[in-house]
């Protein structure tokens, strides 16, 4: 289970909007919102978020 609230918190910390993150992931903002709701992201998307959000312990968020 992905801790989506943690992702949103890190996005706020780094001043990245949902629209900006969606663009970084190469998906539509609506698709990003739906993926957040379901807590389902592909491994390539997870890698991008780890880099962009400077996540030190990705297992704590993406494999909780």
Of 32 and 1, which is predicted with more confidence? 32
What is the value of pTM for the model shown? 0.92
Per-residue model confidence as pLDDT tens digits over 7-50: 999 999 999 999 999 999 999 999 999 999 999 999 999 999 99
Residue 59 to residue 12: CA distance in whole angstroms = 20
- Domain range list for the chain: 4-57
- Rg value, the chain, Cα: 10
6, 41 in Cβ contact below 8 A?
A: no
Q: What is the CATH number of domain 4-57?
A: 1.10.260
Measure CA of the first residue to CA of the last residue in the chain; give whole Å: 5
pLDDT of 42: 95
């Amino acid at each position: 289970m992905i801790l989506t609230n943690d992702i949103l918190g890190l996005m706020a910390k780094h001043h990245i909007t949902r629209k900006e993150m969606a663009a970084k992931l190469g998906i539509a903002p609506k698709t990003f919102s739906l993926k957040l709701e379901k807590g389902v992201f592909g491994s390539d998307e997870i890698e991008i978020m780890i880099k962009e959000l400077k996540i030190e312990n990705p297992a704590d968020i993406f494999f909780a």
